[in-house]
A = this chain, B = another copy of it.
Amino acid sequence: MTLFDPFQTQFDSLEEFAERISKGLHCPITIEDANHRLVAYSTHTDDTDVARISTIMSRRVPEKIINSLWKTGVIPQLLRSGEPIRVPDIPEIGLYNRIAISIWKNNDVLGFIWAIETNAWGNEQFLFFKQVAQATTNKLLQLHIRKHRKEEQNQEVFWKLLTGHIISDDHIAEQFQLLQLSVPKNFATVVFRFQETIKEEQQISYLLKTMQQFYIPFYTIDQNELILLIASASPLTVQTLKTFISSFTDKIKECFRIVVKGSFGGIHKQLSLIEKSYKQALSVLATKKKFPDQTETIHGYQELGIYQFFDLLLEQKQLGNFDNPTLEKLQAYDKKHQTTLMETFEVFTDCDNNLNQAAKLLNIHVNTLAYRLKRISEVGEIQINNVHEKMKLYIDLKLIKYGRM
């Protein structure tokens, strides 16, 4: 039997193209772009598995499936060569026997074509499939360029937002609509700081587009910083953003063996607060740098708590506006008697006044800790049950450290 030659006629759309291939191969066809977004699919109804259905329904390949395809080495292989490969059953994700091929332009992969192998393919089919992939290149390329152009526009708008160049909420919403992006109801700015200038732009872009937890209308890369706008129709919570950051940094670590630090600023509804949220995210990273130990699990600006004040307070402290006699006395005592009252107080407060936990951290007996605390109140002339004084001492203590850096 001779295969139908799809290249003889003109095609208006990729949909039509997919349909023709499907008819030629007698099996369902799906075309994706490089980020596993659905580009086109055939309407071949028989023999369609769960994986394909969910891909089509959500107009992208579900993350679970992408992960699985990475783990089983399918995607890596597709990214290495343009040869069609046979993908075995992965019943856990509802994916059955299929053939996949990547679409190339020079050294870049533009997308993928998937065919469910309903009837066993021979050499003929494989050859045809390769030709199909080559023929798809141009179509996809146009799509790619259009997208690329759009992304450049996005970049420009995003930077305007980050630097506060568009002030009114309405104007910002307008920009979103012009770029055909839905206006976010709730958003937060997320920043990932890499140790070096980011070179893995392609892969990161790929990662972001395949992690489908959030709607990310904008993202950009600035030197060693990856900046995202994360949006959601439902209220964003600190917790979800934290897990997003953890999972992203984990993934980066896994893929590139690079340690990155992530943070997010305020969660807002007002679009004009994007700049503020961005600055807050940067502020978190700065604080994390100064207090690596205390802020290890902190990612959100909210979580910074009193550290939010520190720049301001430090400034005043350096003007001599806030001295702390208690602190001075404790410091003098520590120095004279080779004790560690200050550290004791710090750790104790860090542990939220939990004796056991603090004692463990300090490697001392609980009673020793209690004794020291009593001593601190005597030496420092501080009422240990007065919250205000304790907070002040704690803040001043941290400020000293903060100021040193």
Q: A266-B323, A316-B312 are in contact. Are A305 and B386 (CB under 8 A)?
A: yes
Q: Is the CB of B305 within 8 A of A313?
A: no
The 8 Å CB contact of A309, one of B294, B313, B350, B383, is B313
Quick check: is A73 within 8 A (CB to CB) of the other chain? no
Q: Is the CB of B303 within 8 A of A388?
A: yes
Q: A312-B316, A387-B350 are in contact. Are A381 and B239 (CB under 8 A)?
A: yes
Query: With A and B bound together, what is the CA distance between A142 and B387 in angstroms?
Result: 54
Q: How many copies does the complex hold?
A: 2
Quick check: is A110 within 8 A (CB to CB) of the other chain? no
Q: How far is the CB of A303 from chain B (nearest CB, A)?
A: 6
Q: Is the CB of B322 within 8 A of A309?
A: yes
For window 113-145 of A, CB contacts with B under 8 Å fall at none
- Of A19-27, A58-66, A163-171, A390-398, the one with at least 4 CB within 8 A of chain B: A390-398
Q: How far is the CB of A238 from chain B (nearest CB, A)?
A: 5
Q: A238-B381, A266-B323, A309-B322 are in contact. Are A389 and B352 (CB under 8 A)?
A: no
Q: How far is the CB of A142 from chain B (nearest CB, A)?
A: 45
The 8 Å CB contact of A303, one of B308, B322, B349, B386, is B386
Q: Is the CB of B325 within 8 A of A389?
A: no
Which residue of chain B lies nearest to A393 when distances are taken between CB atoms in the complex?
Answer: B305
Q: Is the CB of A389 within 8 A of B313?
A: no
For window 212-266 of A, CB contacts with B under 8 Å fall at 237-239, 266
Q: A353-B353, A381-B239, A391-B391 are in contact. Are A322 and B305 (CB under 8 A)?
A: no
Query: With A and B bound together, what is the CA distance between A386 and B322 in angstroms?
Result: 25
Query: With A and B bound together, what is the CA distance between A388 and B394 in angstroms?
Result: 10
Q: How far is the CB of A157 from chain B (nearest CB, A)?
A: 24
Quick check: is A302 within 8 A (CB to CB) of the other chain? yes
1/0 contact string of A362-405 vs chain B (CB within 8 Å): 00000000000000000001110111111111110000000000
Which residue of chain B lies nearest to A305 when distances are taken between CB atoms in the complex?
Answer: B388
Q: Is the CB of B387 within 8 A of A237?
A: no
Q: Is the CB of B306 within 8 A of A392?
A: yes
The residues of B that contact A382 with a CB separation of less than 8 Å are: 302
Query: With A and B bound together, what is the CA distance between A324 and B322 in angstroms?
Result: 24
The residues of B that contact A298 with a CB separation of less than 8 Å are: 388
1/0 contact string of A295-311 vs chain B (CB within 8 Å): 00010001111111100
Quick check: is A154 within 8 A (CB to CB) of the other chain? no
Quick check: is A35 within 8 A (CB to CB) of the other chain? no
10 A-B pairs within 8 Å (CB atoms) are namely A267-B325, A294-B388, A302-B381, A305-B386, A306-B391, A306-B395, A309-B313, A309-B392, A312-B313, A352-B385
